[in-house]
Amino acid sequence: MKKKNLAMIGCGTVGQGLLRIIAEKKPDLNVVAISDKLKGAIFDPNGIDVSKMLDVLENDGKIEEYKSASKKAITGLDPIETIKNCNADIMAEMTYTDIETGQPATSYIETALEQGMHVTTSNKGPAALYHAKLAKLAAKNNVQFLIEGTVMSGTPVFNLARETLTGCKITEVKGILNGTTNYILTKMENEGWSYNDALKKAQELGFAEADPTADVEGFDALAKVVILSNYLLEGNIKPDEVPRQGINEISLENIRSAAEEGLRYKLIGSTKLEGESISAYVKPVKLDLSDPLAGVGGATNALTFNTDLLGEVTIQGPGAGKIETGFSIFVDIMTILRQDS
């Protein structure tokens, strides 16, 4: 069978993680186009040498520095031009997240779906704001729109629900959806650090950005709760409909007081079916130590599914990382290849 062609829109940390996995695993796939806002763009219908491209990118080079023997290689196209001209079968969208507008990623995804391409994305913006619309567009064009990497990086959430939990009715999903805040709370409890000291260390380790607002004030977890609500529980909620509280007001005294009660603070994102409606929130919760989520420390994420046939099922794993998030895109691509074979 003819190899499928892949176009990559966005080639920062996640994109380079994906390229590394492709170089090592060698799937039945041609990478024919890469477009990145900062690094440039190339389209080569004969296929890009992934290992050579990695050598360029991992040495802070520009995409145009990649040397192709193909006379058909084109550089300098913008993302929309790349999508329209590359004749790819699959588009992997890995640009920056804008949770307020979902752009420009949503436009890239819409263009690819309209071109008859399968799409996988790790971008929370389009998935949180426009999942129903994009899924409908994918169905109209007889292609798939997959979002495994939007909630827990490469740790399976949607594949688990779709494949392993098939036949189960999921009525509630709750968990630790942000590794930065979990790291901070763990350090505060286990080592007696203040919130500010724990945050500073998280920034030094790269868990938190210089501006940690999205993490510590719960916006990152909020986007993930909306995605879970609308994908797994078939809701239609928007981010501004979900109550949100971060951990920035949790003090060391709060942590110690909870410990004296046999409880432990975690920033929990939760969504639950209540009749025909959905009840969701993001907030710090004092969990009993017997709760599986209470034992999840460090920058790890975890999620508990409440099902009709199995009761509670909890999964934990990495929620971020170059290879981990690159794997989420890779596994979606492999799903598409398997189902298209």
Look up residue 76 and give its DSSP letter.
-
DSSP string, 161-202: IIIITTTPPEEEEEEE--HHHHHHHHHHHHH---HHHHHHHH
Instruction: Locate 260 and state its tokens.
Output: 């004296």
**Burial class, 74, CB count within 10 angstroms (exposed 0-12 / middle 13-18 / buried 19+):** middle
Which residues carry out catalysis?
224
Look up residue 282 and give its DSSP letter.
E
142 vs 137: CA distance, rounded Å: 9
Query: CB of 123 within 8 A of CB of 9?
Result: no
Per-residue burial over 197-236, b = 16 or more CB atoms within 10 Å of its CB, e = otherwise: ebbebbeeeebbeeebebbbbbbbbbbbbbbbbbbbbebe
Instruction: Locate 156 and state its tokens.
Output: 């399976």
20: region left, alpha or beta (phi > 0 left; psi from -120 to 50 alpha): alpha
